[in-house]
Amino acid sequence: MTMILLSVSNVGVSYDGARAVRDLSFHVDEGTIVGLIGTNGAGKSTVLRAISGLVMPDDGEIWYAGKRIDGRSTADRVAMGIAHVPEGRQLFQGLSVLENLRAGAYLRRDKDEIRGDIEKIIAHFPVLGQRQKQKAGTMSGGEQQLLAIARACMSRPRIILIDEPSLGLAPMMVREVGHIIQEINQQGTTILLVEQNVRLALRLSVRVCILEAGRLVLEGSPRELSNSDAVRKAYLGG
């Protein structure tokens, strides 16, 4: 039986008195990839920030693994198994690849296992292994995106919130990032993916939610949405 890992129920979020998210409800089943798509300003990034605790909802509830979390701190949510890869990656640019990976495990105390996880990640992300001592800020955009995802994995999350991973990347690196996201999911990690590359989101996700002006306007399987005339015209070029 499929378990609902994350549930957003009637959530509203405001910035400076302006509503960014309105009465939003959706869920993420454990072990799946769910995509959030929509135009700029639709509220997608705000949803991830509310789930990870970077902004507080005005109303509604957020439940994770059977516990209500909308009143908990960001650190509590990380400790519970929620990792967030924000838009723009937000790496420690002056630190090395290895130091950024260690920073991803800052709440952990199992030093031997942290070293083991770094070895696994370096094996899984060969380019990071080749650049362990290189400062993050000197890497390409695609390499930085891989590092941001790898750093999130260091907290041993149960779910990763990934915000616009393909933004600004060359097509070849978009394919690589998509492949990595699939592999992480296949290893058992649930993923909530915000992505403006609609074709990528449809390819990776088992269910996709479309946001407009902070509201959920449509959700369904990639096949259902791809067969929708409205979705094709608005997001797939006809």
Across the range 44-68, mean pLDDT stands at 96
Cβ distance 98 to 118 under 8 Å?
yes
Is 199 contained in some domain? yes
Q: Is residue 98 part of a domain?
A: no
The pTM for the full model equals: 0.93
111: phi then psi, degrees, rounded to nearest 5: -60, -40
Q: How many of the other CB atoms lie within 10 Å of CB of 68?
A: 12
Domain contains 139: no
CATH at residue 170? 3.40.50.300
154 closest CA partner among 116, 194, 190, 191: 116
Give the range among 7-16, 77-86, 162-171, 204-213 with minimum mean pLDDT: 162-171
Q: Do the domain assignments include residue 191?
A: yes
Separation of alpha carbons 102 and 42, rounded Å: 34
Enclosing domain of residue 164: 4-89+158-235
What lies within 8 Å, CB to CB, of 107 at 6+ separation is 75, 78, 79, 155
Task: Judge whether 187 and 224 are in contact, CB under 8 Å.
Answer: no
Question: Is residue 101 domain-resident?
Answer: no
Laid out side by side, the sheet with 215-220 consists of 82-85, 159-163, 190-194, 33-37, 207-212, 215-220
Provide the token pair at 46: 């705000």
Both structure tokens of 188? 């058992």
Domains in the chain, number = 1
Q: Would residue 150 count as lying in a domain? A: no
pLDDT number for residue 238: 58
Task: State the pLDDT at residue 108.
Answer: 83
Residue 104, in any domain of the structure? no
Q: For the segment 219-230, what is each residue's pLDDT rounded down to a tens digit?
A: 999 999 988 888
pLDDT digits over 61-113, tens only?
999 999 999 999 999 999 999 999 998 778 999 999 999 999 999 888 888 89
In a domain, 206, yes or no: yes
